[in-house]
Amino acid sequence: MLFGKKKRHLARLLVVEDEPLIAFDTEHYLGDEGFEVVATVDSVAHAVRVIATEDVLHLVLVDVNLADGSGLDVAREAMARDIPVLFVTGHFPGEAEALASGFLAKPYQQRDLLLAIEAIEAMVLGEKPRRLPPRFSLFDRAA
């Protein structure tokens, strides 16, 4: 096959989103793009359980404002296990930057989500990102 799906280095993802339609769309879009969505959860407690029990997890996509608490708690748990975090939220508090590899502001286009993940993947691999989507900030976690 001449044109195949791109090999993903950040292939296994956890989606933490309490808006059902956004969670559903994100999970299906990422699956179609060649990612394995390990779980899509809507609470801090469930996300922390997945992070603690999942052997291989490459990236956590998390909203900041969740029904049972803050996505910052999810990010702290991921950071403790050296798992990069992409905050996907309409409200990004400044203190979250220390916990994240990147931030994509809602609302966003699905293609922008893919570009944000690819930018974080490039950073993790020590490469320069090809292109950054609008409304996205990439944070250098090595600094």
Element (H, E) at 86: strand 85-89
At 20, is the pLDDT very low, low, confident or very high (cuts 50, 70, 90)? very high
- At residue 3, does pLDDT exceed 90? no
Q: What is the mean pLDDT of the chain?
A: 92
Q: Where are the domains of the chain?
A: 12-71+81-138
At 143, is the pLDDT very low, low, confident or very high (cuts 50, 70, 90)? very low
The predicted-structure confidence for 31-54, as pLDDT tens digits, reads as follows 999 999 999 999 999 999 999 999
Q: pTM above 0.75?
A: yes
Residue 29, CA distances (Å) to 38, 53, 61, 68, 119 in order = 14, 25, 13, 26, 17
Taking the C-alpha atoms of residue 143 and residue 140, their distance in angstroms, rounded to an integer, is 6
| Beta strand segments in 90-128, E | 102-105
Element (H, E) at 26: helix 20-32
* Confidence at residue 5, expressed as pLDDT on a 0 to 100 scale: 57
- At residue 125, does pLDDT exceed 70? yes
- At residue 24, does pLDDT exceed 60? yes
The domain 12-71+81-138 belongs to what CATH superfamily? Response regulator (3.40.50.2300)
* Confidence at residue 4, expressed as pLDDT on a 0 to 100 scale: 54
Q: Are 50 and 38 in contact (CB under 8 A)?
A: yes
* Confidence at residue 7, expressed as pLDDT on a 0 to 100 scale: 77
User: What is the percentage of the chain residues whose pLDDT exceeds 70?
Assistant: 94
